[in-house]
Structure 1
Amino acid sequence: MNSLGINATGAAADAIERHVATLVDDRVASRLGEQDATLWGAEAESEASRRLGWVDPFEATRAILPELFEMRADLHAENIHRVILAGMGGSSLAPEVIAAAAGAELTVLDSTDPEMIGNVLAAGVKDAVLVVASKSGSTVETDSQRRAFARACEDAGLQPNRHIIVVTDPGSPLDELGRAEGYRAVFHADPSVGGRYSALTAFGIVPTALAGVDVEKLLEEAEEVLDLLLTDDTDNIGLRLGAAIGGTAPLRDKLVISVLDQGLPGFGDWAEQLIAESTGKNDTGLLPVVVETGAPEISSSAADLLQVEIIPDVDHPLDGQTELFDVDPAQRQAPEHGVQVYGPLGAQFLLWEFATVIAGRLLQVNPFDQPDVESAKVAARALLDATPEPEVAQAQVNGIEIFGPGSVTAPAQGEPAGTVAALADVLSATLELIPEHGYLSVQAYLDRLNNSDLAAMRGQLASATDRPVTFGWGPRFLHSTGQFHKGGPKVGVFLQITGDSFADLEVPGRPFSFGQLITAQAAGDARVLSDHGMTVVRLHVQDRQRGLQQVLEAAQRISQG
């Protein structure tokens, strides 16, 4: 048995004491095993009845492994070694974690930024296969990426269908297209599993198996803890974790997530989309705040924060990793109010899926729907169709346009002493707008591969305020935390960072470019957030390299007081 455990302290321990016995009495764990759709109330029953296949996905997932292993060998025989994944939300975040933890090369294309798309395609397609992963089969981002990749194949004198593999639900538009076009393979996902619960299904396994990950080991790690999670017992770690994160009183609804020892790179981002999209609705929910080592939120005493430490497995290090600990993780000093969760990657995936639906039960929300995700898509589509005139900035500093309320843009108007000083004043004024028990969400609609340094501003801004700060890359967060932003408590302030591209990129067969698409996605989400009564500030850099450096310097400036 793989080691899987939890330590809980303070408010988290109190929540376990308060709720777990009742969860056991109500047979919640065994009813999950029976896929009982009534666990979340009458309003959720219809949706839940179609979304519980993730509870035991192992037989269906293992059934596709022989074909996958044969396909990987065939691809290598044809000198196709690079795997590119076009996916959004749960379809991309879980494979990214799996590949990174195993040290396997997987390029995740989860953006509509023309520079990011262009750079990935410029690396060549002759030795690459594109896995297009979309549950609905109509996701605009993945469809656009597929079109661009196919055009690149044609331009290189290749047959696109030999370089494209599909993962989708049976009968979806992408399923029909893949078969009509003769794509190399079409893998059907289980339609009873929602995207964010799909880590151990075809969505998580197909791209990573093709990239060379030992996916059989991953599945074994998860299946070994299944019986434990389905047992009605007060020691059930799934019940205990779900109670700890969803049952504090008063609710500590900001989960400060830190992954210790860097053993599971990207796991915090996966957990973020799972928890936020599942619970952020009906003006309640849990907001994960994924932080780096030494982040200000870790030492914060704010009453709405709960510390969550995720610790990789000690006894079974992942491929290519050496021993990660010098002490037993169970003996580590736990946070004052929070949980430490330790175990291998496969077990952690299944555990957090169980814990999230338990938290949904305690919060009295349906953990399987996402009613507010569609609103931003609709707004973006409307902007693409209408092609409105460009918005006029309230202020501009050295090629950086500033949009937002007067209290934020005023410091940048007139003749400022310098660009960095003016931007620092803008950022400080933005932080001052965060309400009590609120948070700042930084949203970068840029190239997350080549503009990755920008993520450092999360910690810098957090150092300048006593409130938590999240950081997300657009548009991928629209498929995850975007649900919490609009469906959860209306206490967020949103800082969008957008930028011009050195060259736009056509979306073949569509009346819009990637540049127009990502612009509409940012503007559409800003419109929906504003309609919900929340504040949106936007910094638009005309010169990415220079402008983003100045934004970072401004964030550093206010972090130093």
Structure 2
Amino acid sequence: MTDIMEAAGGVAVTTHVDAGTGVERLRSDNIPQKVLEGDAGLWGDEARDEAAVRLGWTNTFNSSIDLIKPLSKLKAELAELGIDRIALCGMGGSSLAPEVIARTLDLNLQVVDTTDPGQIIAELTEESLRRTAVVVSSKSGTTVETDSQRRAFEAAFRGVGIDDVARRFVFVTDPGSQLERLANDQGSPVFLADSTVGGRYSALTAFGLVPTALAGADIATLIAEAQEFHAAVEGNEDNPAVLLGALIARRHTLTVADDGSGIAGLGDWAEQLIAESLGKDGKGTLPVVLEHPAAPGARGTDRFYCTVGGAITGATPSGSQLATPDFTVNGPLGAQFLCWELATAFAGYLLEIDPFNQPNVTESKDNTKKLLADGLPDTQPTAVDGSIEIYGGQASNVSAALGELLVDANAPDAYLAVMAYLDRFDDAEVAALRTELSERTGAPVTFGWGPRFLHSTGQFHKGGRPTGVFLQITGAIGEDLTVEGREFTFGRLQAAQAAGDAQALQGRNRPFIRLHLTDRKRGINQLLNAVRELS
């Protein structure tokens, strides 16, 4: 078909595939304008109450301008303390947008969104602590990972003789939360976010802007980019978000890769936005983040392939015509945030899904709390193969266990999810499983680090299409770390999160195995070699 392009406010979406009737339906029902006007009834009566208090993101960047001066002042005050490094304790919507901004602008901001004790300990060296301020971000103020991370930093500061601990913390939270009370009690700076904005839509609120501004980002530019896009699409026939939303809703799976956009990691942020917004009611669009434009798994009859940056004609920089995308999204980061948020809300309308709730996210959290209180299950491995214990299935070795999963993954409409409760820096090699498994199955393959994926694709796993096949990977703990003031360690918390999620998936009779690495390095090498030997 002839190429179609929608462009406005610096953003262009270009495609050569059929977007179906979605564009016409969105326009004929006047959905773009109704969303911008805050019409809470667009997603059905059951969604009305939630939507009524979750549409602030459509123009919240206007009030975010008020953050610029106080953040500039605070940044200068922190510099006087010798601080040139920001650690961000947050999960999901509180961490993914700041990570995109920081990676894109090469800022000295470290996102701490893990419960792996090795990864936490690596952040707590005396040399780094003396240069670090910690931003603690949580809407509710009760997120167990964020609270535990905060406690670890507080104990570590005191452990190296830093007395002005309160000056080392900055809090971002909703008004009236537990974190606001804590910040006020100890005299730490606190920035209150817009309570009418859900976490995954909060990129241009205090959650996205406070940590990045303190790390050196020019947030005024991000805000201006969003304002320009908003002004360009309000009441305008040309709206890239309309075409993008129709394309997201058109197929079961959306694969996303960066193709020279200059924006680092937007796919990871969009993954949470789309999966948590649309993966419910037994349906939805599954996002799959690709490592590069020619990565395995980009194409398939069940999916659309999108690049951020690049073009839809000609070969990609890899030289592969097979990796030519179905559509591209181009534009500056601030405008892209708003465009993808609008598009996801539009896709929810087309799919008749409430894009603002997350009914299944709390299930694994509740399981984790119970396991921490009652104790972890005393399970025994089905088999042991080298440095890997196998839990679940009937296989006696790793190759056979993987073979069983691939059979299930080749069922109609199936997808394979790899979930690694490991150190995403020290154990980074395990992420190669996504490409290796993609080459050996026709199904979409996702990869997520635990527990961060629980706040992202975890909703889709339990509430989306019931066709997932799950490979969970856990690892032995070398050095554990006590969570100050709690009766558990980070290692126990990580194990409880993995076990709690396993219970949620197995309770739905999803195909599931857990591979436990008794030696992480050897186990990862063994696992990758086993996958590469599969036909």
Q: Please give the TM-score of this superposition, normalised by the length of structure 2.
A: 0.94
In structure 2, what residue type is equivalent to 1:169? D
Q: Which residue of 2 aligns with 1:152?
A: 156
Q: Which residue of 2 aligns with 1:56?
A: 59
* CA 148–312 in structure 1, closer or farther in 2 if over 3 Å, else same: farther
In structure 1, what residue type is equivalent to 2:406? L
Aligned to 2:99, which of 93, 96, 106?
96
Q: Which residue of 2 aligns with 1:317?
A: none
The Cα of 1:347 is off from its aligned counterpart by: 0.9
Q: Which residue of 1 aligns with 2:5?
A: none
In structure 1, what residue type is equivalent to 2:426? N
Q: Which residue of 1 aligns with 2:282?
A: 283
The answer (yes or no) to whether the contact 1:404–1:537 under 8 Å persists in 2 is yes
* CA 176–339 in structure 1, closer or farther in 2 if over 3 Å, else same: same
In structure 1, what residue type is equivalent to 2:334? G
Q: Which residue of 2 aligns with 1:338?
A: 326
**Helix, strand or coil at the partner of 2:128:** coil
**Helix, strand or coil at the partner of 1:515:** helix
**Separation of aligned partners in 2, 1:383 and 1:101:** 38
The Cα of 1:188 is off from its aligned counterpart by: 0.2
Q: How does 1:378-393 map to 2 (within 5 A)?
A: 378-393=366-381
**Separation of aligned partners in 2, 1:391 and 1:327:** 50
- 2:490 counterpart of 1:486: no
The answer (yes or no) to whether the contact 1:197–1:274 under 8 Å persists in 2 is yes
Aligned to 1:25, which of 24, 28, 38?
28
The answer (yes or no) to whether the contact 2:387–2:526 under 8 Å persists in 1 is no
In structure 2, what residue type is equivalent to 1:532? R
**Separation of aligned partners in 2, 1:59 and 1:288:** 29
- 2:5 counterpart of 1:8: no
Aligned to 1:169, which of 166, 170, 174?
174
- 2:446 counterpart of 1:447: no
In structure 2, what residue type is equivalent to 1:356? T
Aligned to 1:243, which of 241, 246, 251?
246
The answer (yes or no) to whether the contact 2:315–2:324 under 8 Å persists in 1 is no
| Mean CA deviation greater in 537-546 or 137-146 | 537-546
* CA 337–260 in structure 1, closer or farther in 2 if over 3 Å, else same: closer
In structure 2, what residue type is equivalent to 1:308? C
The answer (yes or no) to whether the contact 2:316–2:323 under 8 Å persists in 1 is no
Q: Which residue of 2 aligns with 1:307?
A: 305
**Separation of aligned partners in 2, 1:326 and 1:532:** 44
**Helix, strand or coil at the partner of 2:96:** helix
Aligned to 1:143, which of 147, 151, 154?
147
Q: Which residue of 2 aligns with 1:38?
A: 41
| Mean CA deviation greater in 88-97 or 394-403 | 394-403
The answer (yes or no) to whether the contact 2:10–2:335 under 8 Å persists in 1 is no
Structure 1 gaps, min length 5: 314-324, 413-422
The answer (yes or no) to whether the contact 1:2–1:344 under 8 Å persists in 2 is no
Q: Which residue of 2 aligns with 1:188?
A: 192
The answer (yes or no) to whether the contact 2:376–2:499 under 8 Å persists in 1 is no
Q: How does 1:506-517 map to 2 (within 5 A)?
A: 506-517=482-493
Q: Which residue of 2 aligns with 1:465?
A: 441
**Helix, strand or coil at the partner of 1:511:** coil
The answer (yes or no) to whether the contact 1:254–1:288 under 8 Å persists in 2 is yes
Q: How does 1:494-505 map to 2 (within 5 A)?
A: 494-505=470-481
**Separation of aligned partners in 2, 1:276 and 1:26:** 25
* CA 336–98 in structure 1, closer or farther in 2 if over 3 Å, else same: closer
The answer (yes or no) to whether the contact 2:9–2:233 under 8 Å persists in 1 is no
The Cα of 1:28 is off from its aligned counterpart by: 1.1
Q: Which residue of 1 aligns with 2:4?
A: none
- 2:193 counterpart of 1:218: no
The Cα of 1:312 is off from its aligned counterpart by: 7.4
The answer (yes or no) to whether the contact 2:415–2:444 under 8 Å persists in 1 is yes
The answer (yes or no) to whether the contact 2:71–2:213 under 8 Å persists in 1 is yes
Q: How does 1:310-321 map to 2 (within 5 A)?
A: 310-311=308-309
**Separation of aligned partners in 2, 1:37 and 1:61:** 23
**Separation of aligned partners in 2, 1:49 and 1:334:** 43
Q: Which residue of 2 aligns with 1:258?
A: 257
| Mean CA deviation greater in 276-285 or 537-546 | 537-546
Q: Which residue of 1 aligns with 2:520?
A: 544
1:211-243 residue CA offsets vs partner (Å, 9 max, x unmatched) = 11111111111111102333252x311111111
**Helix, strand or coil at the partner of 1:459:** helix
**Separation of aligned partners in 2, 1:327 and 1:539:** 39
**Helix, strand or coil at the partner of 2:442:** coil
* CA 22–218 in structure 1, closer or farther in 2 if over 3 Å, else same: same
1:295-338 residue CA offsets vs partner (Å, 9 max, x unmatched) = 2222x3x321111111179xxxxxxxxxxx99999xx9897883
| Mean CA deviation greater in 261-270 or 466-475 | 261-270
**Helix, strand or coil at the partner of 2:359:** coil
In structure 1, what residue type is equivalent to 2:383? A
Q: Which residue of 1 aligns with 2:408?
A: 433
In structure 2, what residue type is equivalent to 1:6? V
- 2:403 counterpart of 1:400: no
**Separation of aligned partners in 2, 1:286 and 1:21:** 20
The answer (yes or no) to whether the contact 1:334–1:340 under 8 Å persists in 2 is no
Aligned to 1:130, which of 126, 129, 134?
134
| Matched residues, number | 521
The answer (yes or no) to whether the contact 2:261–2:330 under 8 Å persists in 1 is no
In structure 2, what residue type is equivalent to 1:399? S
Q: How does 1:513-528 map to 2 (within 5 A)?
A: 513-528=489-504
The answer (yes or no) to whether the contact 1:7–1:334 under 8 Å persists in 2 is no
Q: Which residue of 2 aligns with 1:321?
A: none
- 2:367 counterpart of 1:360: no
The answer (yes or no) to whether the contact 1:461–1:555 under 8 Å persists in 2 is yes
**Separation of aligned partners in 2, 1:334 and 1:359:** 27
* CA 286–46 in structure 1, closer or farther in 2 if over 3 Å, else same: same
The Cα of 1:110 is off from its aligned counterpart by: 0.2
In structure 2, what residue type is equivalent to 1:543? D
**Separation of aligned partners in 1, 2:203 and 2:85:** 21
| Mean CA deviation greater in 1-10 or 351-360 | 1-10
Q: Please give the TM-score of this superposition, normalised by the length of structure 1.
A: 0.89
1:96-144 residue CA offsets vs partner (Å, 9 max, x unmatched) = 0001101112100000010110111125311100000001110000000
The answer (yes or no) to whether the contact 2:10–2:229 under 8 Å persists in 1 is no
**Helix, strand or coil at the partner of 1:225:** helix
The Cα of 1:428 is off from its aligned counterpart by: 2.4
**Helix, strand or coil at the partner of 2:304:** strand
**Separation of aligned partners in 2, 1:454 and 1:56:** 40
In structure 2, what residue type is equivalent to 1:178? A
Aligned to 1:533, which of 493, 501, 509?
509
**Separation of aligned partners in 1, 2:105 and 2:377:** 47
| Mean CA deviation greater in 72-81 or 372-381 | 72-81
The answer (yes or no) to whether the contact 2:420–2:473 under 8 Å persists in 1 is yes
**Helix, strand or coil at the partner of 2:42:** helix
**Helix, strand or coil at the partner of 1:75:** helix
In structure 2, what residue type is equivalent to 1:486? K
- 2:235 counterpart of 1:231: yes
**Separation of aligned partners in 2, 1:67 and 1:488:** 41
- 2:50 counterpart of 1:47: yes
* CA 37–326 in structure 1, closer or farther in 2 if over 3 Å, else same: same
The answer (yes or no) to whether the contact 1:312–1:345 under 8 Å persists in 2 is no
**Separation of aligned partners in 1, 2:322 and 2:400:** 37
Q: Which residue of 1 aligns with 2:184?
A: 179
**Separation of aligned partners in 1, 2:36 and 2:458:** 30
